[in-house]
Structure 1
Amino acid sequence: MTSCVIYGIKNCDTMKKARSLLEQMPVKVKFHDYRVDGVPVDVLRQAMAVLGYEKLINQRGTTWRALPDSEKNIVDAEAALTLMQQHPAVIKRPLLQRGDQFLLGFDAGLYQQFCL
């Protein structure tokens, strides 16, 4: 059976949809809540290597909009990592991991392909 980890925040509506879909699939899924379990730096580094740090930061969310301009000036992966550790809600979600592969965002069709 395939095993995946989904990273995000429990109360996020998109996360709820993603988790609901995954529960219906024949896949073993572990949920990692950034607010409860912390931000896994090693996983974020792996995801940045695959997806690019720019894609991991949600610039549409309320957390991003509330940040001072000085914190929004992300010039490299280390600055992005620091920001994501300090403000986990700026990490785009859901982030789905299967082995060394990552899928960002929610798309039911892609989840079917990615997890099965």
Structure 2
Amino acid sequence: MYIVYGIKNCNTVKKSLTYLDEHKIAYRFHDYKKEGITKAKLKDWSSQLGWEKLVNKKGSTWRMLDDATKNKVTSETKAIELMMEKTSVIKRPLIENGTKVIALGFEEEVYHSIDW
């Protein structure tokens, strides 16, 4: 079963969940706000994708950070600390199949190309 990580009220997450529902793809939703995220999970994703892809620098959470905080995010360790503290800064949705990340964000063309 797929696990979709995100925040329930995020528009991009809503688009992703709608896509999955319309295509009858079974998933479990993991809400960062309610369930949090572990350091081990973030390290695993970082090893698969690179921490730079996980930090959503286009989102409002990142934009609201002060420059000193932004400037500290120069390594995986610092990025993971920030993502654990402010889960809204994690790019979303992130979809896992077992332990493998199969999608980050929502692009319909990419979803169409996945062998669900």
The separation in 2 between residues aligned to 1:22 and 1:46, in whole angstroms, is 24
The secondary structure found in structure 1 opposite 2:52 is helix
The separation in 2 between residues aligned to 1:115 and 1:24, in whole angstroms, is 16
Would the alpha carbon gap of residues 38 and 28 (structure 1) be closer, same or farther in structure 2, given more than 3 Å must change? same
TM-score by length of 2: 0.89
Partner AA of 1:86 in structure 2: E
Match of 2:47 among 28, 45, 49: 49
Match of 1:61 among 59, 62, 69: 59
Task: Report the Cα offset of residue 115 of structure 1.
Answer: 5.2
What are the equivalent positions in structure 2 for 1:9-28 lying under 5 Å apart?
9-28=7-26
Q: Give the paired residue count.
A: 114
- Identity among equivalent pairs (%): 38
The secondary structure found in structure 1 opposite 2:114 is helix
Q: Does 1:112 align with 2:112?
A: yes
Q: Does 1:100 align with 2:94?
A: no
Q: Residue 69 of structure 2 corresponds to which residue in structure 1?
A: 71
Q: Specify every segment of 5 or more residues in structure 1 that has no aligned partner in the other structure, as ranges.
A: none
Does 3-12 or 65-74 show the bigger shift? 65-74
The secondary structure found in structure 1 opposite 2:91 is coil
Task: Report the Cα offset of residue 56 of structure 1.
Answer: 0.5
Report if the CA contact (8 A) 1:8-1:93 is conserved: yes
